[in-house]
Structure 1
Amino acid sequence: MSISGFFSRSEITQALRSLQREWVVIAIFSMVANLLMLAPTLYMLQIYDRVLVSRNELTLLVVSLLILFLFAAMAFAEWARSRLLVRAGVRLDRLLGERVFSAGFARSVREGGGSPGQSFTDLAEVRQFLTGPSIFAFFDLPWAPIYIGVLFLLHPLLGAVAVVFALIQAALAWLGHQRTVEPSESLAKAQGRSHAYLNGKLRNAEAVEAMGMLQQLHHRWALLQARYAELHAAAQGLTHRITAWSKSVRYAQQALSLAVGALLVIDGQISAGAMIAANVLMTRALAPIDQVVSAWRGFLGARAAFFRLEQLLQEHPPLPKISAAPRLQGDVQLRDVHATAPGQVTPILQQVDLHAPPGSLTVVLGPSGSGKSTLARVLVGVWPVSQGELLFDGQPPTAWSHETLGPQVGYLPQDTVLFGGTIAENIARFAAVDSAKVIAAAQCAGLHEMVLRFPKGYDTPIGEGGRLLSGGQRQRIGLARALYGDPALLVLDEPNAHLDDVGEAALLGAMRQLKERGKTVVMVTHRAGVLALADQVLVLQNGQVQLKGPRDEVLAQLQAARQAPAPSSAAGSLPAPQPLPA
């Protein structure tokens, strides 16, 4: 593959290509620094072969001042390329940060594939390798042949010795690559499993503590951690062995190069100054190879992170920009919809049809596991439709961007999740807080008076996940968040599960207001109170529509089914949501 083909195959390689100017300037400064590395060699030759022979102090002063100037230039070149690498890392973060966050979040929502944090860990690993000291070994490596060439100029035997040791170091680097790729990948997977298990249990620490589950969970985690520790020990042992061999070869090179130089001095083929200079030059020539061996593990980790990011961005391309998104009216249709949970194959919803016009309240009933929450997630686009159509105002969801559709949709999931911040920030969906809209949403949800009783009112911090609030308070704040901004479509999944009588009355009042204002409401519930406001009822059983139609007709059919004799087989029985109104 050509270089241009490589750099055009993915977004991350395109981002690296956009830093081409930085890489070129870094390469130039690396060239300057490596050329100036020859200065100590030349200085030694001048001291031993000129100053000590002539005993001229002026010559010593001039040569010393010149070498000091060259050292200062070399230090500037080293500093400049380090500074440029840091700037390149910052630019890489700016170029990819938003895309990696969006793609990682999309994978987490649509596929259940881990957390967005892992994607940022991969990006950080790539950036740290590209901006760390290890990358200098790869910039300095092309200059090793030049140093070896200078050694050939001093004497062919010195150049031959350098070539032999360079080949040995290269063989060690190749061996390290062949022997560490698979262990490194296995180690990364084991570490991911161990951390994922631990993080999952920490999220439920209260239940673990209350029910005495700590020892049992620790035993399972210990098995995962033991496997990780075993793989880590094997990988580290292999890396240390390769590093030890590399150090041994380097020390042997220093000794043998000095011995070969001494032999040549004895034979009168080179001077003593050339012997010392050759030893320093050979060490410098082989240093980049040794650095590559030491940095190889970091390179493998960055390489694996690079390919994971590349796959992530390819699987979740950026959404197209929509210049003129229409205003959502709230007409929602499902046509022969099949849907399933991320990572599963068996469909949860099958052949679901639904039409919810503006100003209507649709109540979804059904036993646990019938697909009600899945239907709610499909309606707001959280889970994709695997077959069939979801239409908003006759258009697919792709007619809107997330930025324009999201504020026009209100969603209250069954498990209300709040975020660290104030009550006002959570209600305002962490956008710029519009006090009038926040208060209006809170009043509609029956939350306003309760909030005013808090010490800081709407500026009261609620803790991460709303841990400082009760379940009912979290649910009512979640309802106010769904109502914020006067959305055209509201999908509420068990919004009254944790509400008391006052909260229930406030919810019914809010639903009545929404209908009067022409909003479309779809509510999943087991309580009968809201049925009095419903325009239509949808009954799900095993992911399929059992009953659908106007409220009175569906309730009459359900009542008749309850009073009829029980069938011989429960496979075709209708669900009986409880309680039903008299």
Structure 2
Amino acid sequence: MRHAQGVNSRLVSLSAVLTGAKSTLTAIALSSGIINILALTGSFFMLQVYDRVIPSKSMPTLVGLVIVAGVLYVFHGILEVIRGRLLTRLGWLADRRMSGPIFDATMRLPLKAKLEGDGLQTLRDLDQVRAFMSGMGPAAFFDLPWMPIYVGISFLFHPWIGVFALASAVLLSLLAIIADLRAKEPVAAVSRKAAERTAISQTIRQNIEVLWAMGFYERLAARWYRTNDAYLAEQVSASDRSSGLSSVSKVMRMIAQSGMLALGAVLVLQQETTGGIMIASSILLSRSLAPVELAIAHWKGFVGARQSWARLKRLASLPPEDAPAVSLPAPSKTLTVRGVSIFAPGDQTPIVHDASFALRAGDGLGIIGPSASGKSTLLRALVGIWSPVRGDVRLDGATLDQWPLAERGRHIGFLPQSVSLFDGTIAENIARFDPQASSEAVLKAAEAAGVHELIVQMPDGYDTQIGDQGMFLSSGQRQRIGLARALYGDPFLVVLDEPNSNLDSDGEVALTAAIADVRSRGGIVIIVAHRPNALLAVDKVMAMGNGRIQAFGPKDEVLQQVTRQAAPPGQRPVRLIASQDEPQ
């Protein structure tokens, strides 16, 4: 029995991250409490100096107060360092617990929904949340509950001192609310423009050869410049609002502190309080307003982190994808497609309508048809990339989702129309980056694809680094290595989308041999082709048009049928695929 939890089901408990960090939060709260108690040191030191040391002119008392205050300040500093490190650990812990599920969900999201931008906003959101949690912004929120205590102590000094402190705290709190209201939209706009800028830059980088060769690089670059200007404008707007309110809060705190001194002086002149209380209350007011001022200074980051957290929670609301509890045996008999209709993620228009067919072990199927007839879309459903909205795809009677992803992948070989290779060695790419891959399995796949001789002639053979997207290889080399990857591990179902589009004659011979080899060992091969040589080793053909299966059956019968249907009355039949003797 296999008990595994799906990626999204782990994400549902996203809000429990802070609960899981209860011990860290408790330590931060405890250290914050002690820090705020020690913050009273300055006020009471001044109170004792003015009301006890100066009237008594006692040097020993002053020395004793200085020693006590110095020790308390040292402990205060140590606790501030400890709290800063605890906040850093809190951000690290949140990232560690969230990054795996969020990364998995982000990478799989394009298979479920239509994305805007570069699709990596959720990873940036995670960085935003971690950066805020690791900074001093949260410290302000741990200090805010102590503000009423400071105000209460001010009332103990004198009722009017308490009223002044309360009014100052309320006024700064209103500024914090205004900061929240004014920061929401600018911060959201900055996030949107940043995503647009990143998406354009990635598009330019990925297509630089085409842009440079055909001379429209500067036009795309101009689009990036415009987007970057808009991003900078939004950034400046958000910073102006945030820094403006931060400056106002600092000025108001200084005004309040001076006002407290003036009020204290009036009370001293009226002999209602002492000079020590006057100085102490000013220092105490400054400390009581510091958390609000700190919160306003970090409010932009707080709003950004809150918006990022909301987006992460929406990601967490995706339906769970729990892995099956029972491990099925490897498929070895049939592929059955029943009434399959397929939509692109996030779209409501079907691309493939009610497709049904069945294949047995040893069958080879070639799929033909005009462009945009649904061929590649059907292949995506056959290998589990897109899930049908109706109908199902079954191997040996079991739907694809009855296998865990990694286990299902061992039974499927897929070569997409645009071959994607990854930064690493040729051997790693063929072995699908399996750390336990054996040399024998890699060599067997390469020989089955007829690419072994090509690989060993390279400078480092199978250890040759191919670069991102296989940039150091030709299109034909990438396609042949992609074919070897599809054949790695002798998968039961091998699906190839135009595998000979970049092959020379030797490559096409190797492809035909590879298809025949899969069939001879009892596998199933499905191939989309526009060139005839790719169909030499298949025994069945499917013709598609307008998203529907037009014909399916033995190769010769279907080719004759669709050729007759394609011929206008009184004209020579039109071939759907060129003959082997005609130029491609």
TM-score range, shorter chain: over 0.9
SS of the residue corresponding to residue 120 of structure 2 reads: helix
Aligned to 2:206: 203
Work out which of the residue numbers 256, 260, 275 in structure 2 matches 1:257.
260
Work out which of the residue numbers 143, 151, 170 in structure 2 matches 1:140.
143
- Residues of 1 paired with 2:59 and 2:87: CA distance? 42
1:403 matched to 2:406? The reply is yes
SS of the residue corresponding to residue 342 of structure 1 reads: coil
SS of the residue corresponding to residue 485 of structure 1 reads: coil
C-alpha change, 1:479 and 1:255, in structure 2 (3 Å) is same
**What is the CA-CA distance between 1:115 and the residue it aligns to?**
4.6
Aligned to 1:446: 450
Aligned to 2:4: none
- Residues of 1 paired with 2:519 and 2:506: CA distance? 20
SS of the residue corresponding to residue 317 of structure 2 reads: helix
Larger mean Cα displacement after TM superposition, 351-360 or 265-274: 265-274
Kindly report which structure 2 residues correspond to 1:302-341, keeping only aligned pairs within 5 A, or say none: 302-329=305-332, 331-341=334-344
**What is the CA-CA distance between 1:116 and the residue it aligns to?**
5.4
Aligned to 1:491: 495
Mapped contact 2:363–2:524 kept (Cα < 8 A): yes
Mapped contact 2:567–2:574 kept (Cα < 8 A): no
Kindly report which structure 2 residues correspond to 1:338-349, keeping only aligned pairs within 5 A, or say none: 338-349=341-352
- Residues of 1 paired with 2:467 and 2:343: CA distance? 33
Larger mean Cα displacement after TM superposition, 314-323 or 272-281: 314-323
- Residues of 2 paired with 1:255 and 1:272: CA distance? 14
Mapped contact 1:330–1:489 kept (Cα < 8 A): no
**What is the CA-CA distance between 1:250 and the residue it aligns to?**
1.5
**What is the CA-CA distance between 1:16 and the residue it aligns to?**
2.2
Work out which of the residue numbers 10, 25, 28 in structure 1 matches 2:27.
25
Mapped contact 1:51–1:59 kept (Cα < 8 A): yes
- Residues of 2 paired with 1:304 and 1:316: CA distance? 22
1:577 matched to 2:576? The reply is yes
- Residues of 2 paired with 1:566 and 1:233: CA distance? 71
C-alpha change, 1:426 and 1:126, in structure 2 (3 Å) is same
**Deviation string, structure 1 residues 223-277 (Cα, Å, up to 9, x no partner):** 4344434433433332233223222211211211111122222222222222221
**What is the CA-CA distance between 1:364 and the residue it aligns to?**
0.6
- Residues of 1 paired with 2:25 and 2:328: CA distance? 41
1:394 matched to 2:393? The reply is no
C-alpha change, 1:121 and 1:321, in structure 2 (3 Å) is farther
Work out which of the residue numbers 275, 279, 282 in structure 2 matches 1:279.
282
Mapped contact 2:137–2:294 kept (Cα < 8 A): yes
**What is the CA-CA distance between 1:530 and the residue it aligns to?**
3.3
- Residues of 2 paired with 1:188 and 1:579: CA distance? 51
Aligned to 2:422: 419
Work out which of the residue numbers 539, 546, 567 in structure 2 matches 1:542.
546
**What is the CA-CA distance between 1:507 and the residue it aligns to?**
1.0
1:36 matched to 2:38? The reply is yes
- Residues of 1 paired with 2:559 and 2:365: CA distance? 13
Mapped contact 1:337–1:351 kept (Cα < 8 A): yes
How many residue pairs end up in the alignment? 570
Mapped contact 2:500–2:534 kept (Cα < 8 A): no
- Unmatched 5+ stretches in structure 2: 1-9
C-alpha change, 1:316 and 1:76, in structure 2 (3 Å) is farther
Give the alignment's Cα RMSD to 1 decimal. Answer: 2.2
- Residues of 2 paired with 1:89 and 1:234: CA distance? 28
Aligned to 1:216: 219
Aligned to 2:6: none
**What is the CA-CA distance between 1:526 and the residue it aligns to?**
1.3
Aligned to 1:5: none
Larger mean Cα displacement after TM superposition, 321-330 or 480-489: 321-330
C-alpha change, 1:116 and 1:405, in structure 2 (3 Å) is farther
Q: What code does the residue aligned with 1:22 have?
A: T
- TM value normalised by structure 2: 0.93
- Unmatched 5+ stretches in structure 1: 1-7, 568-573
Aligned to 2:113: 111
Mapped contact 1:44–1:277 kept (Cα < 8 A): yes
SS of the residue corresponding to residue 549 of structure 1 reads: strand
- Residues of 2 paired with 1:535 and 1:69: CA distance? 89
**Deviation string, structure 1 residues 393-418 (Cα, Å, up to 9, x no partner):** 21112211112111221111000011
Kindly report which structure 2 residues correspond to 1:425-464, keeping only aligned pairs within 5 A, or say none: 425-432=428-435, 433-464=437-468
- Residues of 2 paired with 1:31 and 1:269: CA distance? 32
**What is the CA-CA distance between 1:348 and the residue it aligns to?**
0.9
**Deviation string, structure 1 residues 283-321 (Cα, Å, up to 9, x no partner):** 000011111111111111111111111111211534335
Q: What code does the residue aligned with 1:63 have?
A: L
**What is the CA-CA distance between 1:208 and the residue it aligns to?**
0.7
SS of the residue corresponding to residue 72 of structure 1 reads: helix
C-alpha change, 1:515 and 1:145, in structure 2 (3 Å) is same
Mapped contact 1:254–1:279 kept (Cα < 8 A): yes
